[in-house]
């Protein structure tokens, strides 16, 4: 959640703080053709999570995303957050990434460095690193943690003075360079730092590629600063989960489920009932009102918002939908970019496609598909129907098996059904067509012209009744069978 008090504290301070987010890497270990930082957890790209957290501490115009691998795609996906971009054309390591920021950061006193692949970082922690860094007058402050499994992370070698372990850091040692004794160190580098900008860039060119990956490691700057007598400090994260990085698909899934677990807990705490929450998939941006009940195996995705006192039954999946209060969504509905008014009843097995607007108290039943369609207040389409490009008024009854024929193979046309209309079952409405207020359409009609208000529209061949025809037919068929 944005923490505006932090932002005020920051902007009122005389020091100029920027945030740089390392996001240029390829993410080799994900084995993906997509850039790592665009992989999603909680329905949002990794980099999006990091920017969200940073934006609560500094304004987006002071956030610099360092992009490189598939820079164009990353930029397009992230542009809406309003951050700045710095390009690292060749990815030669985290130190090399920061070298590209020299110009962009020239006007700042301090920079907080975040990693595009450490997505659970919280605004409070970023603010804490900043405040600790300033209070200690440090050249570099490193956020550290002790995760359950430190393997793969750089380890923190703290300075020991008079037999006491201090807050100062001697150096950061990467996994592959650990000596056997160092391998038991549990405190890891989170990849999140604060730097005094001037002191960083005075020495950044001293980094070299003398390591197993042949890369410029930003982590090596700790020992360089320390040797020059500058203070390099460590500050521990409150929870180790917050600084977990995503390097593999397994870590991606772990962090995704961590985030979703947090989300359902947050919703339950705020008054939403969720049965078997571990089976539900609820994206980070979703909101749900109090006393709404969510059954097992429901997915609420994207920017979906649900009002109070609703019931969402098992198997329903909704993306970017807006539901009012007291809405019932029965089993197995698939809904996207749809808006649903108070007291409406949907499902089971309704399919609401984009731009569906279901009015207050309206009913949409099983195997009904809607697209770009407004169904007015109290109207009903309960069975086996397709409503596309339709504007349907209030109190309308759409009979079972009604189809709007909205497409001629090239163009789409509109069907307008005014208030109080009754459409009989198995009707086809060939658009463009308008059914006037209060009109009736007889069952099984094919309506190709507008109907005036209060009229009856009916296309139906005359009914033929032949008495005893069926028994005579059966006799004839039987005698044929005996002969053969
Ligand atoms: C890094 C740290 C390690 C720390 C870990 C925490 C280094 C050398 N090591 O290791 O100490 O414990 O993070 O998660 O920094 N990136 C670029 N340009 C590059 C290379 C990487 O922008 O040329 C970006 C990546 O996109 C990524 C971030 O920097 O977002 C970290 O890079 P990554 O290769 O994942 O570093 P780790 O091996 O995890
Ligand atoms: Ca990483």
Residue 3's pLDDT is: 43
Q: Specify burial of residue 164 (Cβ count, 10 A radius: 0-12, 13-18, 19+).
A: exposed
Cα(118) to ligand 2 centroid in Å equals 7
Question: Are 323 and 307 contacting, i.e. CB atoms less than 8 angstroms apart?
Answer: yes
Select from 22, 99, 218 the residue to mutate for testing ligand 1; criterion: most ligand atoms less than 8 Å from CB: 22
Which atom number of ligand 1 is nearest to the Cα of residue 116? Answer: 30
- CATH pick for 4-243 out of 3.20.20.80, 3.40.50.10490, 3.90.550.10, 3.90.170.10: 3.90.550.10
Q: Specify burial of residue 246 (Cβ count, 10 A radius: 0-12, 13-18, 19+).
A: buried
Can you give the residue ranges of every domain in the chain? 4-243, 271-457
Question: Are 96 and 88 contacting, i.e. CB atoms less than 8 angstroms apart?
Answer: yes
Q: By three-state DSSP, how is residue 425 classified?
A: coil
CA-wise closest residue to 93 among 221, 224, 217, 246: 217
Q: Looking at beta carbons, which pairs linking 372-381 to residues 24 or more positions away fall under 8 Å?
A: 376/419, 377/341
Nearest Cα residue to atom 31 of ligand 1: 115
Active site residues: 383
CA of 117, nearest ligand number = 1
Question: Are 361 and 342 contacting, i.e. CB atoms less than 8 angstroms apart?
Answer: yes
Cα(331) to ligand 2 centroid in Å equals 41
For residue 319, what are the β-bridge partners? 301, 336
Q: Specify burial of residue 9 (Cβ count, 10 A radius: 0-12, 13-18, 19+).
A: middle
Cα(50) to ligand 1 centroid in Å equals 14
**Which DSSP symbol is given to 337?**
S
Question: Are 44 and 263 contacting, i.e. CB atoms less than 8 angstroms apart?
Answer: no
Task: Examine domains 4-243 and 271-457 and report if their fold is the same.
Answer: no
Please report the sign of the dihedral spanned by the C-alpha atoms of residue 210, residue 216, residue 221, residue 224.
Answer: positive
Tokens representing 108 are: 């700042």
Q: By three-state DSSP, how is residue 156 classified?
A: strand
CA-wise closest residue to 383 among 443, 336, 337: 443
Ion ligand 2: residues, CB < 5 A: 117, 245, 247
CATH class of the structural domain 271-457 = mainly beta
Nearest Cα residue to atom 20 of ligand 1: 93
Query: Is the full-model pTM beyond 0.85?
Result: yes
CA of 152, nearest ligand number = 1
Q: By three-state DSSP, how is residue 55 classified?
A: helix
Which atom number of ligand 1 is nearest to the Cα of residue 172? Answer: 11
Cα(246) to ligand 1 centroid in Å equals 10
Residue 449's pLDDT is: 98
CA of 150, nearest ligand number = 1
Pocket of ligand 1 (CB under 6 A): 22-25, 36, 66, 68, 88, 91-94, 96-97, 115-118, 153-154, 172, 174, 188-191, 217-219, 245, 247
Total residue length of the chain:
484
Tokens representing 80 are: 């809406």
Cα(104) to ligand 1 centroid in Å equals 20
Nearest Cα residue to atom 10 of ligand 1: 153
**Residue position matching structure tokens 């505006």:** 4
**Residue position matching structure tokens 């943690």:** 145
Please, which residues have CB within 8 angstroms of residue 88's CB and are 6 or more apart in sequence?
A: 24, 66, 67, 68, 96, 97, 100
DSSP line for 87-120: E-SS---HHHHHHTTTTTTTT-SEEEEEETT-TT
Nearest Cα residue to atom 3 of ligand 1: 154
Q: What is the mean pLDDT of each run of 10 residues along the chain (484 residues)?
A: 44 77 94 96 97 97 97 97 98 97 97 97 97 97 96 96 95 96 95 98 98 96 97 95 94 96 98 98 97 98 98 98 98 98 98 98 98 98 98 98 97 98 98 98 98 97 96 96 78
CA 370 to each of CA 257, 358, 424: distance values in angstroms, whole numbers, following the listed order: 32, 9, 18
Separation of alpha carbons 375 and 360, rounded Å: 9
Which atom number of ligand 1 is nearest to the Cα of residue 247? Answer: 35
Q: Specify burial of residue 317 (Cβ count, 10 A radius: 0-12, 13-18, 19+).
A: middle
């Amino acid at each position: 959640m944005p923490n505006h008090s932090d932002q005020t504290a920051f902007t009122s301070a005389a020091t100029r703080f920027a945030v740089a987010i390392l996001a240029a890497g390829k993410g080799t270990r994900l084995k993906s053709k997509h850039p790592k930082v665009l992989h999603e957890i909680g329905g949002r790209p990794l980099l999006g999570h990091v920017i969200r957290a940073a934006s609560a501490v500094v304004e987006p115009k002071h956030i610099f995303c360092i992009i490189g691998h598939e820079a164009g795609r990353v930029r397009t996906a992230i542009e809406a957050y309003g951050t700045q971009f710095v390009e690292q054309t060749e990815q030669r390591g985290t130190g090399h990434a920061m070298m590209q920021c020299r110009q962009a950061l020239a006007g700042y006193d301090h920079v907080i460095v975040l990693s595009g692949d450490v997505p659970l970082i919280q605004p409070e922690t970023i603010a804490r690193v900043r405040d600790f860094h300033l209070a200690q007058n440090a050249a570099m402050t490193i956020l550290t943690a002790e995760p359950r499994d430190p393997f793969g992370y750089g380890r923190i070698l703290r300075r020991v003075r008079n037999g006491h372990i201090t807050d100062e850091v001697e150096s950061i040692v990467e996994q592959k360079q650990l000596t056997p004794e160092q391998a038991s160190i549990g405190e890891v580098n989170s990849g999140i730092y604060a730097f005094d900008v001037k002191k960083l860039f005075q020495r950044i060119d001293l980094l070299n590629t003398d390591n197993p990956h042949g890369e410029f490691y930003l982590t090596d700057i700790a020992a360089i600063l320390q040797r020059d007598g500058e203070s390099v400090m460590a500050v521990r994260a409150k929870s180790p989960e917050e600084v977990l990085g995503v390097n593999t698909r397994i870590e991606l899934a772990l962090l995704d489920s961590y985030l979703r677990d947090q989300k359902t807990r947050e919703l339950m705490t705020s008054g939403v009932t969720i049965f078997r929450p571990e089976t539900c998939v609820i994206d980070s941006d979703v909101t749900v009102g109090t006393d709404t009940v969510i059954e097992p195996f429901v997915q609420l995705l994207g920017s979906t918002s649900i009002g109070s006192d609703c019931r969402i039954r098992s198997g329903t999946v909704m993306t970017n939908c807006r539901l009012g209060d007291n809405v019932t969504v029965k089993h197995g509905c698939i809904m996207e970019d749809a808006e649903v008014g108070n007291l409406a009843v949907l499902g089971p097995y309704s399919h609401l496609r984009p731009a569906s607007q279901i009015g207050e108290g309206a009913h949409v039943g099983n195997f009904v598909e809607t697209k770009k369609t407004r169904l007015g207040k109290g109207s009903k389409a309960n069975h086996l129907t397709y409503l596309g490009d339709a504007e349907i008024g209030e109190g309308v009854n759409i009979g079972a098996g009604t189809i709007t024929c909205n497409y001629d193979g090239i163009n789409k046309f509109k069907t307008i059904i005014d208030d109080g209309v009754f459409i009989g079952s198995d009707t086809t409405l060939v658009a463009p067509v308008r059914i006037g207020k209060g009109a009736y359409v007889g069952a099984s009609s094919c309506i190709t012209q507008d109907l005036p208000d209060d009229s009856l529209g009916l296309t139906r061949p005359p009914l033929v009744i032949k008495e005893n025809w069926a028994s005579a037919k059966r006799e004839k068929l039987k005698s044929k069978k005996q002969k053969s």
